[in-house]
Amino acid sequence: MGVVEPQLCRIALESRGESTDGLTAETQGHINSAGCEGMATTVTAAHHSICRHLWDSMHAAQKPKSKLTFVTLDKESNVGMLWRRAEFLRICSKEVLAEKAQDIEMTIPVKKSHETRYNLDPGSFFVNRFWGRRPDGVAINEALKIVYI
């Protein structure tokens, strides 16, 4: 079986006037990932639909005595907005979370599309990227002081 030319990515990149140099082979795994330029929107929409169904199902199956509160059932919110809420601040301060998040964020490569922003302020780039993240779902257990993202 020969290598399949990356047509989906090529078409998407060309439509935006971007370079098509160095495209990877169009494997099944590549096409099913949000990394495939031609399928990113479709794959992301499917991902969100599945996550929303999962969170709704977990909420519906929740026992009455459960201390778990599903925070983002009706809408998404970025981490920065969530940590303005009192129940999150009672579990962990923004400062402590930012310090831990930066350690993790620094292990995640900077996307090519974010390089300019990174180069302007490398010191705050990683923390700002974390505060802007929009998790698929968030639940909180104040009794145990746990946030599930």
- What residues make up the domain containing 141? 64-149
Residue ranges of the chain with per-residue pLDDT less than 50:
1
78 with 51, same domain? no
Is 38 in the same domain as 79? Answer: no
Task: Indicate the residue among 19, 35, 61 that finishes a domain.
Answer: 61
Across 8-121, where does the E strand assignment appear? Answer: 68-70
pLDDT digits (tens, 9 = 90+) for 135-144: 888 889 988 9
**pLDDT at position 6, please?**
67
For 104, how many CA atoms within 13 A lie in the half-sphere containing its CB?
Answer: 10
Q: Are residues 57 and 76 in the same domain?
A: no
Query: Which DSSP state fits 112?
Result: G
pLDDT of residue 80: 93
Tell me: do 77 and 108 sit in the same domain.
Answer: yes
Closest CA to 44 of 58, 26, 32: 32
Residues 4 and 26 in one domain: yes
Residue 24 CB contacts under 8 Å (≥ 6 apart), including other chains: 6, 9, 30
Give residue 131's pLDDT.
94
pLDDT digits (tens, 9 = 90+) for 2-13: 555 667 777 877
**For the chain, how big is the Rg over CA atoms in Å?**
19
C-alpha distances in Å from residue 104, one per residue of 30, 98, 126, 127: 25, 10, 9, 10
pTM (whole model) above 0.95 = no
Which pLDDT value is given to residue 123? 82
Number of domains observed in the structure of the chain: 2
Q: Are residues 68 and 26 in the same domain?
A: no
The answer on 118 and 73 residing in a single domain is yes
pLDDT for the residue 1 = 46
Burial of 29: CB neighbours in 10 Å, binned 0-12, 13-18, 19+: exposed
52 shares its domain with 113? no
Contact 82, 88 (CB under 8 A): yes
Q: What's the confidence (pLDDT) of residue 45?
A: 83
